[in-house]
């Protein structure tokens, strides 16, 4: 019986030359490494030891004609493997679980691996990922090349994604005219955070709300949604107001149909803070719907936290050629699968489920069944 993950790599080009020293099938190497990372391994030595320990289990699903690869073999293959093709293979698998009746929200954000130096704007290996916030799945990633930055690679990531039926929420760095145009050309919608990096747009959006307030919203097509939360010594109120088809937006922002204002008032320990945020949207949804997309965006930050705290990504020094990028993709897939799998007990955490996947082969199979498309 094949593992569901084996089909993911069927069309992936093998970067190795055909020589007598090529002993292990590419699919065997990638499946073993992915399962090992899910099960708690963070280094090539750990991955090889895990696979060796569980060789009998994996022979149920993989040919393993020449046994278990060495740690050096895992490292060499991951260093040579094309990261764009590798991410694309995983992304297709993940996207198969993103069927939805409404828009699929996709958050885009970058993350740095501080212990893996590189000649990027952040000074280290940096990966920009796409995260389906409701399905909790990584849909793809692009690595920032030497001499570049996050902003420059976002269009490449957008082109690699299926955007029809999606609403894309990049971080503020992704608020670029080119990205908005690309998203609409690919039949998606955008919800862009508007900040000081786009001063003309920011002034136009703020001006639209100033005029609406001066008119007391008389004759202004709009919608409002208010949320109140209390807990853990914190009181928070969020008021979301949407203006539809406001005048004065710069013409170059293709498909812009609404602007959003989010007012947050938070009281923690008796200290009150107020913040105001603005967004530009090509989707004319109700205020409650857009508020959900905005809040959902921060799920990608939660994923980044898990990568650092549970998977030790910020401490990883792996960066040989493409190895760091490819291992980063495996970690993101592992987070996606573990989060979608219920634990033995209600409320089981990702670290607990990761540990159990390393111990319990049947639970590992359950994790791998998290994507069945």
HEC sequence for the chain: CCCHHHHHHCCCCCCCCCCCCCCCCHHHHHHHHHHHHHCCCCCHHHHHHHHHHCHHHHCCCCCCCCCCCCHHHHHHHHHHCCHHHHHHHHHHHHHCCCCCCCCEEEEEEEEEEEEEECCCCCCEEEEEEEEECCCCEEEEEEECCCCCCHHHHHHHHHHHCCCCCEEEEECHHHCCHHHHHHHHHCCCEEEEEECCCCHHHHHHHHHHHHHHHHCCCCCCCEEEEEEEEEECCEEEEEEEEEEECCCCCCCCCCCCCEEEEEEEEEEECCEEEEEEEEEEECCCCCHHHHHHHHHHCCHHHHHHHHHHHCCCHHHCCCCCCCHHHHHHHHHHHHHHHHHHCCCCCCCCCHHHHHHHHHHCHHHHHHHHCCCCC
Residue % of the chain over a pLDDT of 90:
63
Q: What is the pLDDT of residue 314?
A: 80
| 245: pLDDT strictly greater than 60 | yes
Least Cα distance to 130 among 89, 151, 161, 88 occurs for 161
Residues 357, 200: Cα–Cα separation, whole Å: 51
Q: What is the pLDDT of residue 373?
A: 45
Least Cα distance to 231 among 262, 267, 263 occurs for 267
What is the extent of the structural domain holding 252?
Answer: 193-284
- Give the predicted TM-score (pTM) of the model: 0.84
Q: Is residue 92 part of a domain?
A: no
Asked whether residue 201 falls in the same domain as residue 277, the answer is yes
| 152: pLDDT strictly greater than 80 | yes
- Tell me the mean pLDDT in the region 215-233: 90
Q: Is residue 209 part of a domain?
A: yes
Q: Is residue 302 part of a domain?
A: no
CB atoms under 10 Å from CB of 133, counted, come to 22
> pLDDT tens, 316-354?
776 666 898 899 999 999 999 998 888 777 778 999 999
Question: What CATH number is attached to the domain comprising 277?
Answer: 3.10.450
> pLDDT tens, 50-93?
999 999 999 999 999 999 999 999 999 999 999 999 999 888 88
Residues 326, 9: Cα–Cα separation, whole Å: 13
Q: What is the pLDDT of residue 357?
A: 94
Q: Is residue 296 part of a domain?
A: no
Tokens 């090539």 belong to which residue? 44
> pLDDT tens, 96-146?
766 655 689 999 998 888 777 787 877 888 889 999 998 888 899 998 888
| 302: pLDDT strictly greater than 80 | yes
Domain boundary among 284, 308, 330: 284
Asked whether residue 355 falls in the same domain as residue 273, the answer is no
Q: What is the pLDDT of residue 100?
A: 54
Q: Is residue 116 part of a domain?
A: no
| Sign of the dihedral through C-alpha 154, 155, 158, 160 | negative
Round the average pLDDT of the chain to a whole number and report it.
90
Q: What is the pLDDT of residue 22?
A: 84
Residues 285, 105: Cα–Cα separation, whole Å: 13
- Tell me the mean pLDDT in the region 290-316: 88
Domain boundary among 284, 303, 323: 284
> Domains in the chain: how many in total?
2
Asked whether residue 276 falls in the same domain as residue 359, the answer is no
Q: What is the pLDDT of residue 125?
A: 80
Asked whether residue 348 falls in the same domain as residue 277, the answer is no
Domain boundary among 284, 311, 331: 284
Q: Is residue 171 part of a domain?
A: no
Q: What is the pLDDT of residue 319?
A: 61
Q: Is residue 120 part of a domain?
A: no
> pLDDT tens, 249-276?
999 999 999 999 999 998 888 888 999 9
Residues 279, 240: Cα–Cα separation, whole Å: 11
Q: What is the pLDDT of residue 99?
A: 62
Q: Is residue 336 part of a domain?
A: no
Most confident of 130-134, 205-209, 335-339, 369-373: 205-209
């Amino acid at each position: 019986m094949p593992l569901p993950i084996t089909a993911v790599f069927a069309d992936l080009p093998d970067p190795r030359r055909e020589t007598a020293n090529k002993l292990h099938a590419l699919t065997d190497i990638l499946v073993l490494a992915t399962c090992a990372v899910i099960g708690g391994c963070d280094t090539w030595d750990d991955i090889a030891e895990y696979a060796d320990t569980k060789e009998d289990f994996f022979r149920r699903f993989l040919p393993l004609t020449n046994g278990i690869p060495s740690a050096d073999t895992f490292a060499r293959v991951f260093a040579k493997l094309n990261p764009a093709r590798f991410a694309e293979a995983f992304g297709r698998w993940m996207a198969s679980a993103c069927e939805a009746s409404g828009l699929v929200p996709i958050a885009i954000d970058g993350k740095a691996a501080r212990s893996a130096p590189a000649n990027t704007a952040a000074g280290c290996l940096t990966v920009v990922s796409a995260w389906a916030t409701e399905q909790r799945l990584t849909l793809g990633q692009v690595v920032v090349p030497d001499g570049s930055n996050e902003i420059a690679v976002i269009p490449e990531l957008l082109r690699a994604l299926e955007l029809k039926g999606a609403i894309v929420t990049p971080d503020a760095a992704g608020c670029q005219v080119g990205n908005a145009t690309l998203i609409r050309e690919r039949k998606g919608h955008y919800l862009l955070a508007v900040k000081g990096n786009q001063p003309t747009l920011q002034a136009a959006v703020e001006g639209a709300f100033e005029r609406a307030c001066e008119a007391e919203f008389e004759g202004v097509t709009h919608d409002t949604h208010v949320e109140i939360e209390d807990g853990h010594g914190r009181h928070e109120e969020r008021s979301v107001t949407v203006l539809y088809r406001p005048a004065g937006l710069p013409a170059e922002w293709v498909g812009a149909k609404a602007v959003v204002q989010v007012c947050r008032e938070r009281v923690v320990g008796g200290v009150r803070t107020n913040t105001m945020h603005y967004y530009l949207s090509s989707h004319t949804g109700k205020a409650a719907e857009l508020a959900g997309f905005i809040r959902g965006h921060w799920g990608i930050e939660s994923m980044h936290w898990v990568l650092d705290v549970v998977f030790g990504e910020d401490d990883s020094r792996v960066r040989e050629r493409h190895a760091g990028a490819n291992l980063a993709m495996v970690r993101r897939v592992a987070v996606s699968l573990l989060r979608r799998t219920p634990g033995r007990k209600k409320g089981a955490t990702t670290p607990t489920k990761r540990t159990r996947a390393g111990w319990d082969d049947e639970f590992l199979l359950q994790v791998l069944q998290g994507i069945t498309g």
